[in-house]
Chain A
Amino acid sequence: MRRFPWDILLTLLAGLGLGLAYAWVISPLRVVASDPIALRADFKDQFRSAIAAAFVATSNLPRTEARLSLLGDSDVVEALNSQAQRMIASGEFAQADQLATLAIALENDNVLAVLPTHTSDDAGTIEPESSTIFPQPSEDLPFQLTETPEVFDTPVAETQGVETQAVVLNPTPRPTRTPVPTLGAPFVLIAQDPVCDSTFPEGLLQVVVFNSTRRQVTGAKIIITWENGEDQFFTGLKPEIGNGYADFVMSPNITYTLRLAAGSDIASELIAPTCQNPSGEAFLGGIKLTFQQP
């Protein structure tokens, strides 16, 4: 009676294990056609910044949404806002503005908040005539890996036929041209309250900015002026208090005027009030301003 060839079977399994170890650990295939969703976090940030900059220049929201979807953020607006905060913290105010502008536009699902930086001469040529639509990242579209590592350095023009077939170019209807600069709806000053809390710094001017859906707006530029002086500050620098929160310390006996750079009601005649603590001692109080987009 012939016995079962266990030795051969075991050798086959050992070879299988060696092969897998080689393919997965020792020499995995190099990636040459990845999706943006697989990018490292800092590169995703740069990708997002470029998307926001392009959006500010073109106002093409459908294309922007398609691009953002490639990054696979679970909450796109939140991702934009948090990145805007990081950029404000690192002093990159212009890019933070672009991200915040895009976040507002996405929340409002329109382009009301966009303030293009180009001249009117440029506007005609950047009007989108078509849209490049990319497929959504899905389980059905995993990373495309080359069959041979050598393909990595092959010029794009030669490899695209093999590895790239995902671009679907569908002309989209030409958007209606807005006849005037598409500024966002002005923020309305919905509350102006004196704050007499001795635990706060004296003369603290607090500003909270909400959008139309009552979400706090990150990166909103605030301009405050007083006699012979002007300063600017941004919401979002103190996310532990609120994404739409910003503050400024007022000096006593100086009258301030404040507005949002994106367009808002003007809060004028702002003077730090004099308050009294429970023991009757006077101290300089603060003011809290709340803006909201209608």
Chain B
Amino acid sequence: MPPVTCPDIYMKSSRWLFILIALAAGFGMGLAYGWYVDPVEFFDLTPDTLRADYKADYVLMVAEAYRGEQDPGLAARRLAILGSRSPAAIASEGLVFARENGFADSDIALIQELVTAMQAWSGINP
């Protein structure tokens, strides 16, 4: 049996180091690909995951409908699909977005009216 020499030990330890580095590099590449290059596509989502502009437009829809129907309960139920917060908070968030993104004045007025109605409906003073 040939004697173990220093170069052999050095070769073995460096090889393990390369293997660990390769494992970490592969893991990192997999993460990057799976999170950024080709992330999981989701379906059957809930409305609270909608992009902020779509949420704001939904609030505007509810405000438009509320203007015609004058039914705060129905408006609140419609808003409730956007999350577990109070309808007034959801409508207020839509109002903030609308103001910051240049919605037409008439649209902002509609949402403002909805916010006021939702605040009154939930018992909170405007």
Q: Give chain A's interface residues, CB within 8 Å of chain B.
A: 5, 7-9, 11-24, 28-29, 31-36, 38-41, 43, 46-47, 49-51, 53-54, 56-58, 67, 70, 116-118, 122, 125-130, 132, 134, 142-145, 147, 155-157, 159-160, 163-164, 166-167, 169, 171
Contact A12–B55 (Cβ < 8 Å): no
Contact A118 B101 (CB under 8 A): no
- Can you list 11 A-B contacts (CB < 8 A)? A5-B18, A12-B23, A14-B26, A17-B30, A18-B26, A18-B30, A22-B30, A46-B81, A125-B109, A159-B52, A164-B51
Contact B36 A166 (CB under 8 A): no
B-chain residues with CB within 8 Å of residue A36 when the two chains form the complex: 50, 54
Q: Other than the known A54-B62, A160-B101, what 14 A-B pairs have Cβ atoms closer than 8 Å?
A: A18-B30, A19-B28, A32-B49, A36-B50, A43-B47, A54-B60, A58-B64, A128-B104, A145-B35, A155-B93, A156-B97, A157-B97, A163-B51, A166-B53
Taking CB as reference atom, which chain B residue is nearest A148?
Answer: B35
**Given A34-B50, A46-B78, also A67-B57 (CB < 8 A):** yes
Specify the main secondary structure of chain A where it touches its partner.
helix
Partner of B52, one of A11, A13, A163: A163
B interface list, Cβ under 8 A from A: 15, 18-19, 22-36, 39-47, 49-58, 60-62, 64-65, 67-70, 78, 81, 93, 96-97, 100-107, 109-110
Cβ contact within 8 Å between B45 and A34: yes
Partner of B51, one of A11, A17, A35, A53: A35
Contact A7 B19 (CB under 8 A): yes
Closest to A169 in B: B102
Report, nearest first, the 4 A-B pairs whose CB atoms are least far apart. A19-B30, A15-B26, A23-B34, A57-B68
Are the CB atoms of B23 and A164 closer together than 8 Å? no
- Given A22-B31, A34-B49, A126-B64, the answer on whether A50 and B58 have CB atoms closer than 8 Å is yes
Also in contact, A11 and B104, with CB within 8 A (given A47-B47, A47-B58, A58-B64): no
Please measure, in the bound complex, the distance between the C-alpha atom of A147 and the C-alpha atom of B48, giving whole angstroms.
18
CA distance A117 to B71 in the complex (A): 12
Cβ–Cβ contact B26 & A56, under 8 A: no
Task: For the complex formed, measure the closest distance between the CB of A153 and the CB atoms of chain B, giving whole angstroms.
Answer: 11
B31 near A23 with CB under 8 A, answer yes
A50-B61 in contact given A18-B30, A129-B106 (Cβ < 8 Å) = yes
CB of B26 within 8 A of CB of A117, answer: no
Q: How far is the CB of A134 from chain B (nearest CB, A)?
A: 7
**Cα distance A275–B79 in the bound complex, in angstroms:** 55
Report the nearest A residue to B53, measured CB to CB. A167
Given A28-B39, A57-B69, are A164 and B53 neighbors across the interface (CB < 8 Å)?
Answer: yes
Closest to A9 in B: B22
Q: Which of A8, A22, A144 contacts B19 (CB 8 A)?
A: A8
